[in-house]
Amino acid sequence: MKKPFELIIILVIPWTIILFLVATVNSDRDTEYFNYNNISLESKVPVVDHSQFTVLNKQFNNPSEVTAACLSCHNGRGEEIMMTEHWRYLKSDSITGRGTYDLGKKKYHK
């Protein structure tokens, strides 16, 4: 009867305490990095019904045709999009306590 009791004291109780501490000590760390309160799903720009445009009411054979149809109205947006961080996947980011790092496909961009 002594062995199961020792096993509980030596293994189970310390691991329970360790797991509790790991789960609770830094549980709000992600909220410091990214503020979820600033996210809004409401559109601030009036929504346009794109189904009403004849240039979009056809069967597209590939993604390039869709892009060309969009750019026929949204002229100049292609160049703007290709300069965004999302398109280029190139940005600087900082990690608290570690400094600033360059992220992305830097070797592919001038």
> pTM of the predicted model, to two decimals?
0.38
Q: Please tell me which residue, 28 or 11, carries the higher pLDDT value.
A: 11
> How far is residue 106 from each of residues 8, 76, 80, measured CA to CA in Å?
54, 24, 19
CA distance 75 to 40: 27
Question: 62: pLDDT confidence band, cut at 50, 70 and 90?
Answer: very high
Per-residue confidence (pLDDT) for residue 33, from 0 to 100: 60
Q: Please tell me which residue, 110 or 80, carries the higher pLDDT value.
A: 80
pLDDT in tens, 84-109: 777 777 777 887 888 887 777 665 55
The arithmetic mean of pLDDT across residues 52-62, rounded, is 91
Closest CA relative to residue 69, chosen from 83, 54, 81, 84: 54
